[in-house]
Protein backbone atom coordinates (compact mmCIF):
# COMPACT_ATOMS: atom_id res chain seq x y z
CA UNK A 1 0.00 0.00 0.00
CA UNK A 2 2.73 2.40 1.04
CA UNK A 3 4.88 1.39 -1.98
CA UNK A 4 1.97 2.02 -4.32
CA UNK A 5 1.14 5.33 -2.65
CA UNK A 6 4.71 6.62 -2.47
CA UNK A 7 5.49 5.71 -6.08
CA UNK A 8 3.64 8.69 -7.48
CA UNK A 9 5.50 11.02 -5.11
CA UNK A 10 8.82 9.61 -6.34
CA UNK A 11 7.67 10.00 -9.93
CA UNK A 12 6.75 13.66 -9.45
CA UNK A 13 10.01 14.24 -7.62
CA UNK A 14 12.10 12.84 -10.51
CA UNK A 15 10.53 15.29 -12.96
CA UNK A 16 12.55 18.25 -11.64
CA UNK A 17 16.12 16.90 -12.26
CA UNK A 18 14.88 15.66 -15.63
CA UNK A 19 13.99 19.18 -16.76
CA UNK A 20 16.53 21.31 -14.90
CA UNK A 21 19.70 19.19 -14.98
CA UNK A 22 19.46 16.62 -17.72
CA UNK A 23 17.46 18.26 -20.53
CA UNK A 24 19.36 21.53 -20.23
CA UNK A 25 22.76 19.78 -20.01
CA UNK A 26 21.76 17.51 -22.93
CA UNK A 27 22.79 14.43 -20.94
CA UNK A 28 21.23 11.47 -22.75
CA UNK A 29 22.75 8.91 -20.37
CA UNK A 30 21.24 10.87 -17.45
CA UNK A 31 17.85 10.80 -19.17
CA UNK A 32 18.29 7.05 -19.51
CA UNK A 33 18.90 6.71 -15.77
CA UNK A 34 15.85 8.78 -14.91
CA UNK A 35 13.79 6.74 -17.40
CA UNK A 36 15.04 3.58 -15.69
CA UNK A 37 14.20 4.98 -12.27
CA UNK A 38 10.70 5.97 -13.42
CA UNK A 39 10.13 2.53 -14.96
CA UNK A 40 11.33 0.95 -11.72
CA UNK A 41 8.92 3.09 -9.72
CA UNK A 42 5.99 2.01 -11.93
CA UNK A 43 6.90 -1.70 -11.97
CA UNK A 44 7.15 -1.59 -8.18
CA UNK A 45 3.80 0.18 -8.04
CA UNK A 46 2.19 -2.41 -10.33
CA UNK A 47 3.46 -5.36 -8.29
CA UNK A 48 2.54 -3.75 -4.97
CA UNK A 49 -0.91 -2.72 -6.31
CA UNK A 50 -1.62 -6.23 -7.61
CA UNK A 51 -0.69 -7.82 -4.27
CA UNK A 52 -2.64 -5.30 -2.28
CA UNK A 53 -5.82 -5.62 -4.35
CA UNK A 54 -5.66 -9.39 -4.14
CA UNK A 55 -5.24 -9.38 -0.38
CA UNK A 56 -7.93 -6.78 0.25
CA UNK A 57 -10.47 -8.47 -2.06
CA UNK A 58 -9.72 -11.94 -0.66
CA UNK A 59 -10.11 -10.71 2.92
CA UNK A 60 -13.31 -8.86 1.93
CA UNK A 61 -14.74 -11.98 0.31
CA UNK A 62 -13.86 -14.11 3.32
CA UNK A 63 -15.53 -11.67 5.68
CA UNK A 64 -18.63 -11.37 3.46
CA UNK A 65 -19.13 -15.09 2.95
CA UNK A 66 -18.58 -15.63 6.69
CA UNK A 67 -21.22 -12.99 7.39
CA UNK A 68 -23.60 -14.65 4.91
CA UNK A 69 -23.26 -18.01 6.67
CA UNK A 70 -23.78 -16.38 10.04
CA UNK A 71 -26.86 -14.54 8.77
CA UNK A 72 -28.38 -17.71 7.34
CA UNK A 73 -27.66 -19.61 10.57
CA UNK A 74 -29.33 -16.83 12.52
CA UNK A 75 -32.30 -16.54 10.15
CA UNK A 76 -33.00 -20.25 10.46
CA UNK A 77 -33.17 -19.89 14.24
CA UNK A 78 -35.94 -17.27 14.00
CA UNK A 79 -39.66 -17.95 14.50
CA UNK A 80 -41.94 -18.92 11.66
CA UNK A 81 -43.73 -15.60 12.23
CA UNK A 82 -40.62 -13.70 11.12
CA UNK A 83 -40.73 -15.44 7.74
CA UNK A 84 -44.45 -14.75 7.43
CA UNK A 85 -43.82 -11.03 7.88
CA UNK A 86 -40.65 -10.76 5.76
CA UNK A 87 -40.97 -11.88 2.12
CA UNK A 88 -38.35 -14.43 0.97
CA UNK A 89 -37.10 -12.05 -1.74
CA UNK A 90 -36.30 -9.37 0.85
CA UNK A 91 -34.40 -11.92 2.93
CA UNK A 92 -32.42 -13.11 -0.10
CA UNK A 93 -31.56 -9.50 -0.88
CA UNK A 94 -30.27 -9.04 2.66
CA UNK A 95 -28.17 -12.18 2.67
CA UNK A 96 -26.77 -11.51 -0.81
CA UNK A 97 -27.22 -7.87 -1.85
CA UNK A 98 -26.54 -6.13 1.44
CA UNK A 99 -23.51 -8.23 2.31
CA UNK A 100 -22.07 -7.70 -1.18
CA UNK A 101 -22.65 -3.95 -0.89
CA UNK A 102 -20.76 -4.09 2.37
CA UNK A 103 -17.93 -6.06 0.81
CA UNK A 104 -17.54 -3.53 -2.01
CA UNK A 105 -17.45 -0.77 0.53
CA UNK A 106 -14.95 -2.50 2.80
CA UNK A 107 -12.54 -3.23 -0.07
CA UNK A 108 -12.85 0.33 -1.42
CA UNK A 109 -12.40 1.98 1.92
CA UNK A 110 -9.45 -0.17 3.01
CA UNK A 111 -7.69 0.30 -0.34
CA UNK A 112 -8.47 3.95 -0.62
CA UNK A 113 -7.65 4.83 2.97
CA UNK A 114 -4.25 3.15 2.85
CA UNK A 115 -3.05 3.81 -0.66
CA UNK A 116 -4.62 7.21 -1.27
CA UNK A 117 -3.61 8.70 2.08
CA UNK A 118 0.01 7.72 1.44
CA UNK A 119 -0.15 8.98 -2.15
CA UNK A 120 -1.67 12.24 -0.92
CA UNK A 121 0.98 12.72 1.77
CA UNK A 122 3.90 11.87 -0.51
CA UNK A 123 2.68 14.19 -3.28
CA UNK A 124 1.97 16.92 -0.76
CA UNK A 125 5.53 16.56 0.55
CA UNK A 126 6.94 16.94 -2.97
CA UNK A 127 4.78 20.03 -3.45
CA UNK A 128 5.82 21.54 -0.10
CA UNK A 129 9.52 20.81 -0.66
CA UNK A 130 9.17 22.44 -4.06
CA UNK A 131 7.39 25.61 -2.92
CA UNK A 132 5.17 25.94 0.14
CA UNK A 133 3.50 29.11 -1.18
CA UNK A 134 2.43 27.41 -4.39
CA UNK A 135 1.13 24.54 -2.29
CA UNK A 136 -1.01 26.76 -0.11
CA UNK A 137 -2.29 28.58 -3.15
CA UNK A 138 -3.23 25.33 -4.91
CA UNK A 139 -5.05 23.81 -1.98
CA UNK A 140 -6.50 26.87 -0.29
CA UNK A 141 -9.99 26.06 -1.54
CA UNK A 142 -10.11 22.62 0.10
CA UNK A 143 -11.48 23.71 3.51
CA UNK A 144 -14.44 25.20 1.65
CA UNK A 145 -15.53 21.65 0.87
CA UNK A 146 -16.01 20.57 4.46
CA UNK A 147 -19.55 21.89 4.88
CA UNK A 148 -21.01 20.64 1.56
CA UNK A 149 -19.41 17.21 2.09
CA UNK A 150 -20.98 16.93 5.55
CA UNK A 151 -24.37 18.02 4.21
CA UNK A 152 -24.15 15.41 1.48
CA UNK A 153 -23.78 12.55 3.96
CA UNK A 154 -27.37 12.69 5.14
CA UNK A 155 -28.64 12.76 1.58
CA UNK A 156 -26.49 9.75 0.62
CA UNK A 157 -27.67 7.75 3.66
CA UNK A 158 -31.38 8.35 2.98
CA UNK A 159 -31.17 7.72 -0.75
CA UNK A 160 -29.07 4.56 -0.35
CA UNK A 161 -31.48 3.18 2.24
CA UNK A 162 -34.37 3.83 -0.17
CA UNK A 163 -32.47 2.20 -3.01
CA UNK A 164 -31.67 -0.93 -0.93
CA UNK A 165 -35.35 -1.17 0.03
CA UNK A 166 -36.34 -0.88 -3.61
CA UNK A 167 -33.85 -3.66 -4.45
CA UNK A 168 -35.45 -5.88 -1.78
CA UNK A 169 -38.92 -5.26 -3.26
CA UNK A 170 -37.57 -6.18 -6.70
CA UNK A 171 -36.22 -9.48 -5.39
CA UNK A 172 -39.50 -10.12 -3.60
CA UNK A 173 -41.44 -9.60 -6.78
CA UNK A 174 -39.14 -11.88 -8.77
CA UNK A 175 -39.47 -14.59 -6.14
CA UNK A 176 -43.28 -14.39 -6.21
CA UNK A 177 -43.34 -14.30 -9.98
CA UNK A 178 -41.19 -17.40 -10.52
CA UNK A 179 -43.06 -19.27 -7.82
CA UNK A 180 -46.35 -18.40 -9.43
CA UNK A 181 -45.25 -19.01 -13.02
CA UNK A 182 -48.03 -21.52 -13.66
CA UNK A 183 -50.79 -19.12 -12.61
CA UNK A 184 -49.14 -16.37 -14.66
CA UNK A 185 -49.16 -18.53 -17.77
CA UNK A 186 -52.64 -19.98 -17.28
CA UNK A 187 -54.19 -16.56 -16.69
CA UNK A 188 -52.06 -15.00 -19.46
CA UNK A 189 -50.55 -12.52 -17.02
CA UNK A 190 -47.12 -12.34 -18.68
CA UNK A 191 -47.68 -8.80 -19.93
CA UNK A 192 -49.28 -7.67 -16.67
CA UNK A 193 -46.43 -9.09 -14.61
CA UNK A 194 -43.77 -7.66 -16.94
CA UNK A 195 -45.40 -4.23 -16.59
CA UNK A 196 -45.63 -4.60 -12.82
CA UNK A 197 -41.96 -5.54 -12.72
CA UNK A 198 -41.13 -2.64 -15.06
CA UNK A 199 -42.83 -0.21 -12.68
CA UNK A 200 -40.86 -1.59 -9.73
CA UNK A 201 -37.62 -1.47 -11.73
CA UNK A 202 -38.42 2.15 -12.63
CA UNK A 203 -38.83 2.95 -8.95
CA UNK A 204 -35.56 1.19 -8.13
CA UNK A 205 -33.78 3.05 -10.92
CA UNK A 206 -34.99 6.39 -9.60
CA UNK A 207 -33.77 5.62 -6.09
CA UNK A 208 -30.46 4.17 -7.30
CA UNK A 209 -29.74 7.23 -9.47
CA UNK A 210 -30.56 9.57 -6.59
CA UNK A 211 -28.11 7.65 -4.41
CA UNK A 212 -25.42 7.76 -7.12
CA UNK A 213 -26.03 11.48 -7.62
CA UNK A 214 -25.14 12.04 -3.98
CA UNK A 215 -22.04 9.88 -4.29
CA UNK A 216 -20.89 11.59 -7.49
CA UNK A 217 -21.22 15.10 -6.08
CA UNK A 218 -18.12 14.77 -3.84
CA UNK A 219 -15.52 14.22 -6.59
CA UNK A 220 -17.24 16.86 -8.73
CA UNK A 221 -16.68 19.46 -6.02
CA UNK A 222 -13.02 18.42 -5.75
CA UNK A 223 -12.65 19.00 -9.51
CA UNK A 224 -13.90 22.56 -9.21
CA UNK A 225 -11.44 23.30 -6.40
CA UNK A 226 -8.70 21.59 -8.46
CA UNK A 227 -9.35 23.86 -11.45
CA UNK A 228 -9.11 26.95 -9.26
CA UNK A 229 -5.84 25.67 -7.75
CA UNK A 230 -4.32 24.99 -11.18
CA UNK A 231 -5.19 28.43 -12.51
CA UNK A 232 -3.87 30.22 -9.40
CA UNK A 233 -0.52 28.37 -9.49
CA UNK A 234 -0.23 28.85 -13.24
CA UNK A 235 -0.57 32.60 -12.90
CA UNK A 236 1.53 33.05 -9.79
CA UNK A 237 4.20 30.43 -10.65
CA UNK A 238 4.23 31.35 -14.33
CA UNK A 239 5.12 34.92 -13.42
CA UNK A 240 7.96 33.71 -11.21
CA UNK A 241 9.41 31.55 -14.01
CA UNK A 242 9.23 34.41 -16.47
CA UNK A 243 10.99 36.60 -13.90
CA UNK A 244 13.65 33.89 -13.55
CA UNK A 245 12.93 33.23 -9.87
CA UNK A 246 11.90 29.62 -10.50
CA UNK A 247 12.95 26.92 -12.95
CA UNK A 248 10.76 25.12 -15.49
CA UNK A 249 11.77 21.83 -13.82
CA UNK A 250 10.45 23.01 -10.45
CA UNK A 251 7.23 24.10 -12.07
CA UNK A 252 6.79 20.83 -14.00
CA UNK A 253 7.54 18.74 -10.90
CA UNK A 254 5.03 20.77 -8.87
CA UNK A 255 2.42 20.62 -11.60
CA UNK A 256 2.82 16.86 -11.96
CA UNK A 257 2.37 16.40 -8.21
CA UNK A 258 -0.63 18.77 -8.25
CA UNK A 259 -2.22 16.94 -11.17
CA UNK A 260 -1.72 13.62 -9.43
CA UNK A 261 -2.86 14.70 -5.97
CA UNK A 262 -6.50 15.33 -6.93
CA UNK A 263 -7.21 11.75 -7.89
CA UNK A 264 -6.52 10.27 -4.43
CA UNK A 265 -8.20 13.30 -2.92
CA UNK A 266 -11.33 12.62 -4.99
CA UNK A 267 -11.39 9.03 -3.80
CA UNK A 268 -10.73 10.01 -0.18
CA UNK A 269 -13.59 12.53 -0.31
CA UNK A 270 -15.79 9.70 -1.57
CA UNK A 271 -15.09 7.52 1.45
CA UNK A 272 -17.53 9.39 3.66
CA UNK A 273 -20.27 8.85 1.06
CA UNK A 274 -19.39 5.21 0.65
CA UNK A 275 -19.43 4.77 4.40
CA UNK A 276 -22.95 6.17 4.51
CA UNK A 277 -24.02 3.80 1.75
CA UNK A 278 -22.40 0.90 3.61
CA UNK A 279 -24.05 1.91 6.85
CA UNK A 280 -27.45 1.71 5.12
CA UNK A 281 -26.72 -1.96 4.31
CA UNK A 282 -25.18 -2.59 7.71
CA UNK A 283 -28.28 -1.21 9.40
CA UNK A 284 -30.47 -3.65 7.46
CA UNK A 285 -28.17 -6.55 8.34
CA UNK A 286 -28.30 -5.60 12.00
CA UNK A 287 -32.07 -5.54 11.87
CA UNK A 288 -31.89 -9.24 10.97
CA UNK A 289 -29.17 -10.08 13.47
CA UNK A 290 -31.04 -8.29 16.24
CA UNK A 291 -34.27 -10.20 15.65
CA UNK A 292 -34.61 -12.81 18.36
CA UNK A 293 -36.63 -16.00 18.31
CA UNK A 294 -39.46 -15.97 20.85
CA UNK A 295 -39.98 -19.71 20.72
CA UNK A 296 -37.09 -20.92 22.80
CA UNK A 297 -36.15 -24.09 24.59
CA UNK A 298 -36.72 -23.79 28.37
CA UNK A 299 -33.77 -23.10 30.67
CA UNK A 300 -34.02 -26.55 32.29
CA UNK A 301 -35.63 -28.70 29.64
CA UNK A 302 -37.35 -31.95 30.64
CA UNK A 303 -36.73 -35.00 28.49
CA UNK A 304 -39.47 -35.91 26.03
CA UNK A 305 -41.50 -38.94 26.97
CA UNK A 306 -44.08 -40.04 24.41
CA UNK A 307 -47.63 -40.36 25.67
CA UNK A 308 -51.04 -38.79 25.70
CA UNK A 309 -51.45 -35.34 24.13
CA UNK A 310 -53.81 -32.93 25.87
CA UNK A 311 -55.03 -29.50 24.82
CA UNK A 312 -56.63 -27.66 27.77
CA UNK A 313 -58.54 -24.46 27.03
CA UNK A 314 -56.00 -23.46 24.38
CA UNK A 315 -56.34 -19.96 22.96
CA UNK A 316 -54.51 -18.79 19.86
CA UNK A 317 -54.90 -16.06 17.26
CA UNK A 318 -53.11 -14.18 14.53
CA UNK A 319 -52.73 -10.43 15.05
CA UNK A 320 -55.73 -10.20 17.30
CA UNK A 321 -57.99 -12.48 15.22
CA UNK A 322 -58.80 -15.50 17.38
CA UNK A 323 -58.38 -18.90 15.72
CA UNK A 324 -58.59 -21.31 18.64
CA UNK A 325 -61.03 -20.31 21.37
CA UNK A 326 -60.61 -22.54 24.38
CA UNK A 327 -59.76 -25.71 22.49
CA UNK A 328 -59.73 -28.82 24.68
CA UNK A 329 -59.22 -32.43 23.66
CA UNK A 330 -57.19 -35.51 24.46
CA UNK A 331 -55.37 -37.63 21.91
CA UNK A 332 -54.68 -40.94 23.57
CA UNK A 333 -51.20 -42.42 23.42
CA UNK A 334 -50.60 -44.89 20.61
CA UNK A 335 -54.07 -44.28 19.21
CA UNK A 336 -55.28 -42.44 16.12
CA UNK A 337 -57.22 -39.24 16.64
CA UNK A 338 -58.78 -37.61 13.60
CA UNK A 339 -59.61 -33.93 13.32
CA UNK A 340 -62.32 -32.86 10.91
CA UNK A 341 -64.08 -29.58 10.39
CA UNK A 342 -64.65 -26.80 7.89
CA UNK A 343 -61.80 -24.93 6.22
CA UNK A 344 -60.32 -22.31 8.53
CA UNK A 345 -61.58 -24.09 11.68
CA UNK A 346 -58.02 -24.20 13.06
CA UNK A 347 -57.05 -27.81 12.33
CA UNK A 348 -53.58 -27.08 10.92
CA UNK A 349 -53.01 -24.58 13.72
CA UNK A 350 -53.28 -27.50 16.18
CA UNK A 351 -50.22 -29.07 14.50
CA UNK A 352 -48.32 -25.77 14.58
CA UNK A 353 -48.94 -25.50 18.33
CA UNK A 354 -47.99 -29.09 19.01
CA UNK A 355 -44.66 -28.77 17.19
CA UNK A 356 -44.10 -25.34 18.82
CA UNK A 357 -43.89 -23.50 15.53
CA UNK A 358 -46.20 -21.14 17.41
CA UNK A 359 -46.96 -20.92 21.12
CA UNK A 360 -50.48 -20.60 22.57
CA UNK A 361 -51.76 -17.30 23.95
CA UNK A 362 -53.60 -19.15 26.73
CA UNK A 363 -54.28 -22.62 28.09
CA UNK A 364 -51.98 -25.64 28.30
CA UNK A 365 -50.70 -28.26 25.88
CA UNK A 366 -49.20 -31.33 27.52
CA UNK A 367 -47.40 -34.42 26.31
CA UNK A 368 -47.49 -37.34 28.76
CA UNK A 369 -48.54 -34.86 31.46
CA UNK A 370 -45.71 -32.33 30.93
CA UNK A 371 -46.40 -28.95 29.38
CA UNK A 372 -44.64 -28.95 26.00
CA UNK A 373 -43.06 -25.54 26.72
CA UNK A 374 -41.05 -27.25 29.49
CA UNK A 375 -39.75 -29.97 27.18
CA UNK A 376 -36.50 -29.99 25.28
CA UNK A 377 -37.47 -28.31 21.98
CA UNK A 378 -35.18 -30.38 19.73
CA UNK A 379 -36.33 -33.53 21.51
CA UNK A 380 -39.98 -32.55 20.98
CA UNK A 381 -39.48 -32.00 17.25
CA UNK A 382 -37.47 -35.23 16.99
CA UNK A 383 -40.41 -37.05 18.55
CA UNK A 384 -42.85 -35.82 15.90
CA UNK A 385 -43.03 -36.71 12.20
CA UNK A 386 -45.26 -34.47 10.09
CA UNK A 387 -46.74 -35.00 6.65
CA UNK A 388 -48.16 -31.61 5.77
CA UNK A 389 -50.53 -30.32 3.10
CA UNK A 390 -47.64 -28.90 1.13
CA UNK A 391 -44.59 -31.08 0.81
CA UNK A 392 -41.30 -29.23 0.98
CA UNK A 393 -38.95 -31.08 -1.35
CA UNK A 394 -35.43 -29.85 -2.02
CA UNK A 395 -33.49 -29.87 -5.26
CA UNK A 396 -31.73 -33.18 -4.71
CA UNK A 397 -32.54 -36.83 -5.47
CA UNK A 398 -35.63 -38.74 -4.35
CA UNK A 399 -33.45 -40.70 -1.91
CA UNK A 400 -31.83 -37.47 -0.67
CA UNK A 401 -35.27 -36.05 0.06
CA UNK A 402 -36.39 -39.15 1.94
CA UNK A 403 -33.16 -39.18 3.95
CA UNK A 404 -34.05 -35.75 5.37
CA UNK A 405 -36.29 -37.70 7.76
CA UNK A 406 -33.19 -39.21 9.37
CA UNK A 407 -29.84 -38.05 8.05
CA UNK A 408 -27.90 -41.09 9.28
CA UNK A 409 -30.24 -43.63 7.67
CA UNK A 410 -28.62 -46.36 5.56
CA UNK A 411 -29.51 -46.73 1.86
CA UNK A 412 -31.39 -49.92 2.77
CA UNK A 413 -33.51 -48.05 5.33
CA UNK A 414 -34.21 -45.31 2.77
CA UNK A 415 -35.27 -47.95 0.25
CA UNK A 416 -37.48 -49.70 2.80
CA UNK A 417 -39.24 -46.40 3.61
CA UNK A 418 -39.62 -45.71 -0.12
CA UNK A 419 -41.17 -49.11 -0.59
CA UNK A 420 -43.58 -48.72 2.33
CA UNK A 421 -44.79 -45.34 1.03
CA UNK A 422 -45.24 -46.65 -2.54
CA UNK A 423 -42.42 -44.42 -3.78
CA UNK A 424 -40.62 -47.35 -5.38
CA UNK A 425 -43.66 -47.91 -7.55
CA UNK A 426 -42.84 -44.84 -9.63
CA UNK A 427 -39.14 -44.44 -8.78
CA UNK A 428 -38.20 -47.89 -10.09
CA UNK A 429 -39.65 -46.97 -13.48
CA UNK A 430 -37.24 -44.02 -13.74
CA UNK A 431 -33.77 -44.62 -15.27
CA UNK A 432 -31.98 -43.42 -12.12
CA UNK A 433 -34.52 -44.89 -9.69
CA UNK A 434 -34.27 -43.35 -6.22
CA UNK A 435 -31.27 -41.36 -7.43
CA UNK A 436 -33.46 -39.33 -9.80
CA UNK A 437 -33.23 -35.58 -9.15
CA UNK A 438 -36.60 -34.11 -8.16
CA UNK A 439 -35.92 -30.60 -9.55
CA UNK A 440 -36.35 -27.28 -7.75
CA UNK A 441 -38.96 -27.73 -4.99
CA UNK A 442 -39.71 -31.17 -6.38
CA UNK A 443 -41.07 -29.75 -9.65
CA UNK A 444 -40.12 -32.89 -11.62
CA UNK A 445 -42.60 -34.98 -9.58
CA UNK A 446 -46.37 -34.97 -9.60
CA UNK A 447 -48.31 -33.77 -6.56
CA UNK A 448 -49.12 -37.35 -5.55
CA UNK A 449 -45.51 -38.45 -6.01
CA UNK A 450 -44.30 -35.57 -3.86
CA UNK A 451 -46.78 -36.57 -1.18
CA UNK A 452 -45.51 -40.15 -1.21
CA UNK A 453 -41.92 -38.93 -0.82
CA UNK A 454 -43.05 -36.90 2.19
CA UNK A 455 -44.73 -39.98 3.67
CA UNK A 456 -41.55 -42.01 3.10
CA UNK A 457 -39.61 -39.28 4.88
CA UNK A 458 -41.97 -39.50 7.86
CA UNK A 459 -41.71 -43.28 7.82
CA UNK A 460 -37.93 -43.09 7.92
CA UNK A 461 -38.08 -40.70 10.86
CA UNK A 462 -40.03 -43.33 12.77
CA UNK A 463 -41.03 -40.84 15.46
CA UNK A 464 -43.44 -41.87 18.24
CA UNK A 465 -45.89 -39.08 17.31
CA UNK A 466 -47.28 -38.76 13.81
CA UNK A 467 -49.09 -35.70 12.47
CA UNK A 468 -50.79 -36.17 9.12
CA UNK A 469 -52.41 -33.16 7.47
CA UNK A 470 -54.48 -34.47 4.56
CA UNK A 471 -51.71 -36.95 3.72
CA UNK A 472 -53.48 -38.61 0.81
CA UNK A 473 -55.29 -35.64 -0.70
CA UNK A 474 -53.12 -35.58 -3.84
CA UNK A 475 -53.26 -39.29 -4.53
CA UNK A 476 -55.33 -41.20 -7.06
CA UNK A 477 -57.67 -43.90 -5.75
CA UNK A 478 -55.22 -46.77 -6.23
CA UNK A 479 -52.18 -45.02 -4.71
CA UNK A 480 -54.41 -43.71 -1.95
CA UNK A 481 -55.37 -47.22 -1.03
CA UNK A 482 -51.70 -48.31 -1.02
CA UNK A 483 -50.61 -45.32 1.02
CA UNK A 484 -53.54 -45.63 3.44
CA UNK A 485 -52.42 -49.18 4.15
CA UNK A 486 -48.84 -47.99 4.64
CA UNK A 487 -50.00 -45.21 6.94
CA UNK A 488 -52.05 -47.67 8.91
CA UNK A 489 -48.95 -49.79 9.43
CA UNK A 490 -46.96 -46.67 10.30
CA UNK A 491 -49.47 -45.34 12.80
CA UNK A 492 -49.77 -48.66 14.62
CA UNK A 493 -48.28 -48.15 18.07
CA UNK A 494 -47.78 -44.38 17.49
CA UNK A 495 -49.78 -41.44 18.78
CA UNK A 496 -51.29 -40.21 15.55
CA UNK A 497 -53.27 -37.09 14.77
CA UNK A 498 -54.73 -36.96 11.30
CA UNK A 499 -56.55 -34.10 9.62
CA UNK A 500 -58.96 -35.19 6.93
CA UNK A 501 -61.52 -33.57 4.69
CA UNK A 502 -62.78 -36.84 3.30
CA UNK A 503 -64.51 -38.54 6.19
CA UNK A 504 -64.17 -41.90 4.44
CA UNK A 505 -60.41 -41.88 5.15
CA UNK A 506 -60.74 -41.63 8.95
CA UNK A 507 -63.61 -43.99 9.72
CA UNK A 508 -61.23 -46.33 11.55
CA UNK A 509 -59.80 -43.62 13.81
CA UNK A 510 -60.06 -44.35 17.52
CA UNK A 511 -61.52 -40.93 18.14
CA UNK A 512 -62.79 -38.23 15.81
CA UNK A 513 -62.86 -34.57 16.85
CA UNK A 514 -65.19 -32.24 14.98
CA UNK A 515 -63.73 -28.74 15.10
CA UNK A 516 -65.64 -25.59 14.34
CA UNK A 517 -64.52 -22.01 14.91
CA UNK A 518 -61.61 -23.08 17.10
CA UNK A 519 -63.58 -25.40 19.41
CA UNK A 520 -64.42 -29.08 19.53
CA UNK A 521 -68.15 -29.32 18.91
CA UNK A 522 -68.39 -33.11 18.83
CA UNK A 523 -66.16 -36.09 19.52
CA UNK A 524 -66.28 -39.86 19.59
CA UNK A 525 -65.71 -42.86 17.36
CA UNK A 526 -67.29 -42.98 13.91
CA UNK A 527 -70.03 -45.23 15.22
CA UNK A 528 -70.70 -43.02 18.24
CA UNK A 529 -70.83 -39.87 16.15
CA UNK A 530 -73.15 -41.48 13.63
CA UNK A 531 -75.39 -42.63 16.46
CA UNK A 532 -75.38 -39.13 17.96
CA UNK A 533 -76.81 -37.92 14.67
CA UNK A 534 -75.19 -34.50 14.97
CA UNK A 535 -72.97 -32.39 12.75
CA UNK A 536 -70.65 -35.30 11.85
CA UNK A 537 -73.52 -37.59 10.87
CA UNK A 538 -75.01 -34.88 8.67
CA UNK A 539 -71.70 -34.28 6.90
CA UNK A 540 -71.11 -38.00 6.51
CA UNK A 541 -74.53 -38.44 4.93
CA UNK A 542 -73.97 -35.55 2.53
CA UNK A 543 -70.45 -36.70 1.57
CA UNK A 544 -71.40 -40.30 0.98
CA UNK A 545 -74.37 -39.18 -1.10
CA UNK A 546 -71.95 -37.02 -3.10
CA UNK A 547 -74.14 -33.95 -2.43
CA UNK A 548 -71.36 -32.10 -0.60
CA UNK A 549 -67.76 -31.95 -1.68
CA UNK A 550 -65.30 -33.17 0.94
CA UNK A 551 -65.06 -30.81 3.94
Ligand X SMILES: Nc1ncnc2c1ncn2[C@@H]1O[C@H](COP(=O)(O)OP(=O)(O)OP(=O)(O)O)[C@@H](O)[C@H]1O
Q: Which residues are near ligand X by CB under 6 A? A: 84, 318, 323, 343-349
CA distance 515 to 346: 8
Contact 341, 270 (CB under 8 A): no
Q: With respect to ligand X, which residue has the nearer C-beta, 323 or 503?
A: 323
CA distance 316 to 360: 5
CA distance 68 to 98: 10
- Element holding 27 (H helix, E strand): none
Q: Which residues pair with 362 in a beta bridge?
A: 315
Q: Compute the least distance from the CB of residue 314 to ligand X, in Å.
A: 12
Q: Compute the least distance from the CB of residue 517 to ligand X, in Å.
A: 9
Q: With respect to ligand X, which residue has the nearer C-beta, 349 or 451?
A: 349
3-state SS, residue 495: strand
3-state SS, residue 371: strand
Q: Compute the least distance from the CB of residue 151 to ligand X, in Å.
A: 44
Q: Compute the least distance from the CB of residue 515 to ligand X, in Å.
A: 7
Q: With respect to ligand X, which residue has the nearer C-beta, 170 or 499?
A: 499
Contact 452, 423 (CB under 8 A): yes
Q: Compute the least distance from the CB of residue 528 to ligand X, in Å.
A: 22
CB-based contacts of 391, cutoff 8 Å, min separation 6: 442, 450, 451, 453, 454
Q: With respect to ligand X, which residue has the nearer C-beta, 85 or 378?
A: 85
Contact 229, 88 (CB under 8 A): no
Q: With respect to ligand X, which residue has the nearer C-beta, 347 or 450?
A: 347
Q: Compute the least distance from the CB of residue 5 to ligand X, in Å.
A: 56
Sheet of 370-371: strand order equals 321-331, 309-318, 362-367, 370-371
Q: Compute the least distance from the CB of residue 442 to ligand X, in Å.
A: 20
Q: With respect to ligand X, which residue has the nearer C-beta, 80 or 252?
A: 80
CA distance 126 to 132: 10
Buried b (16+ CB within 10 A) or exposed e, 496-506: bbbbbbebebb
Complete DSSP assignment for 411-467: HHHHHHHHHHTT-HHHHTTSTTGGG-B--GGGTTS-HHHHHHHHHHHHHHHT-SEEE
Q: Compute the least distance from the CB of residue 340 to ligand X, in Å.
A: 9
DSSP at 314:
E
Sheet of 384-387: strand order equals 384-387, 465-469, 495-499, 336-340, 511-516, 519-524
Q: Compute the least distance from the CB of residue 310 to ligand X, in Å.
A: 19
Q: With respect to ligand X, which residue has the nearer C-beta, 348 or 449?
A: 348
CA-CA-CA-CA torsion sign (31, 37, 40, 44): negative
Q: With respect to ligand X, which residue has the nearer C-beta, 98 or 540?
A: 540
Q: Compute the least distance from the CB of residue 539 to ligand X, in Å.
A: 13
Q: With respect to ligand X, which residue has the nearer C-beta, 303 or 320?
A: 320
Q: With respect to ligand X, which residue has the nearer C-beta, 287 or 390?
A: 390
Q: With respect to ligand X, which residue has the nearer C-beta, 269 or 336?
A: 336
Contact 86, 79 (CB under 8 A): no
CA-CA-CA-CA torsion sign (95, 98, 102, 103): positive
CA distance 162 to 483: 52
Q: Compute the least distance from the CB of residue 386 to ligand X, in Å.
A: 13
Amino acid sequence: MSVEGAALGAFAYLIQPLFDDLFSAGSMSGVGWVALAISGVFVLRAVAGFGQRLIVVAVGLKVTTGLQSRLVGHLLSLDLGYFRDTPPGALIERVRGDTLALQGLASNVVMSLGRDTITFVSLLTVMFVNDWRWTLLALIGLPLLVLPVVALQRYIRTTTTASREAAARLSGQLDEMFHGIQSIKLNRLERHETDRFGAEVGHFLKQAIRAQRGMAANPAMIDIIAAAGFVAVLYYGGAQIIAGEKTVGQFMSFFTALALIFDPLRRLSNIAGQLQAGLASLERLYEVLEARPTILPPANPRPVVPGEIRFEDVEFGYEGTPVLRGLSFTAEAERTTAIVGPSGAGKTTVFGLLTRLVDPAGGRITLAGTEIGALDLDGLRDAIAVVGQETALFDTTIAGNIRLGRLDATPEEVRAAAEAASVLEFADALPLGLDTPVGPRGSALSGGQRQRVAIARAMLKAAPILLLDEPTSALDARSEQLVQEALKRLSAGRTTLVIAHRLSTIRDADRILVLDKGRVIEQGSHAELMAANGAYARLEALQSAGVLPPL
